[in-house]
Structure 1
Amino acid sequence: MTDTDWIERAYQVFNGARPDHFTDFRHCDECAEHDQTLIGHDRDSIGLDQLGHPSWDPLCFCSAEGKRYYMPALIRLTLNSLYDEPYLDQFLFHLADFGNDNALLVLCNRQQRQFITGFLSYLIDQHSEQLDRINLADELLTVYQIWSGD
């Protein structure tokens, strides 16, 4: 599969409904602001302007359902930015969240988990030099182990 194939396949595998809200928006102003950012964009329109800042990342406050909804966008951002401003580090952070107790991992069905492990394998196979260059190969392998159940 090509990069484009992975993005298209992500839309098929992660085809669930869009949540009404993505965060506990009543919790505080920051949660409300992140919720509005996520509500204001769909899987096609959200980009690095909204998600590309590790210190102000709405997905850190997002529910597992919201992350699952946005997975096609996260795959797209990861692939499209791999050689410029890599989003991969943030993507791996969200996939690794709390290891095997990761709410996203628990929420995803078998097909979705297999897709994620397949995608991570693809990155290793097709982009290994870049992974080494940006020092994320070890992190990617750790996340692969979490998602594959190893």
Structure 2
Amino acid sequence: MEQKKLITLAYQAFSEFKKPEHSTDYQCCRECNEYDQLLKNVDRKNLTIEQIGTVCWGPVAVLLPEAMAYYMPRFIELALMNVDNKDKDPYITQFINQIGHTPTSKAFSLFTSKHISIVAETYKYINENYRKIVEDLCWDEDLDDAIKGWVANPIKH
């Protein structure tokens, strides 16, 4: 699938999700509160790679299901565009790591088969267009597992 078409489909598919009041369990800990404040006034289209952070620091790992669904099209867009993250590493590897190998996590509990298929198509696009980058950074097995896990669509909502 063409990059621009997939990005458009992602925004359309996830448009049903509105920005939640809180993106994290902000009362959980200081870090979750910090991430919640970071995202408080950020809409999905304006979310920056700096706000997403890195594999080691950033809100993605602690997003509530509502926030994950709301921000997912932006994560997809940045992965498909092959931007670098805050550490100047390819965001595609961070996407592989943070979105994971299957949609079974609680973070994806609001996803329907439509949403799952968009993420699967994103992983396929990464494989077809950025495989060499992924291999050079030793994320190829993780990418293969993600493709299998998301394409298999092991959950039904």
* Range of TM-score over shorter length: 0.7 to 0.9
The answer as to whether partners of 2:55 and 2:97 remain within 8 angstroms in 1 is no
Which residue of the other structure, out of 74, 90, 96, is the alignment partner of 1:92?
Answer: 96
Offset, 1:6: 1.8
**Distance in 1, Cα, partners of 2:64 & 2:18:** 13
Q: Which residue of 1 aligns with 2:114?
A: 111
Q: What whole-Å deviation, never above 9, does each CA across 1:119-145 have from its counterpart, x for those lacking one? A: 211221222222222222211111122
The answer as to whether partners of 2:14 and 2:73 remain within 8 angstroms in 1 is yes
| SS of 2:81 mapped into structure 1 | helix
Q: Which moved more, 1:108-117 or 1:131-140?
A: 131-140
Letter in 1 for 2:70: Y
Q: Which residue of 1 aligns with 2:81?
A: 80
Q: Which residue of 1 aligns with 2:7?
A: 7
**Distance in 2, Cα, partners of 1:100 & 1:80:** 22
**Distance in 2, Cα, partners of 1:82 & 1:22:** 23
Q: Which moved more, 1:104-113 or 1:76-85?
A: 76-85
What percentage of aligned pairs have identical amino acids? 26
Which structure 2 residue ranges, 5 or more long, are not aligned? none
Number of residue-to-residue matches in the alignment? 149
Q: What whole-Å deviation, never above 9, does each CA across 1:99-125 have from its counterpart, x for those lacking one? A: 563123432101111111122112212
With structure 1 as the length reference, what TM-score do the two structures score? 0.86
Q: Does 1:41 align with 2:45?
A: no
Q: Which residue of 2 aligns with 1:132?
A: 135
Question: Which is helix-richer, 1 or 2?
Answer: 1
Please, what is the CA RMSD of the aligned residues?
A: 2.1
The answer as to whether partners of 1:47 and 1:77 remain within 8 angstroms in 2 is no
Which structure 1 residue ranges, 5 or more long, are not aligned? none
**Distance in 1, Cα, partners of 2:126 & 2:82:** 13
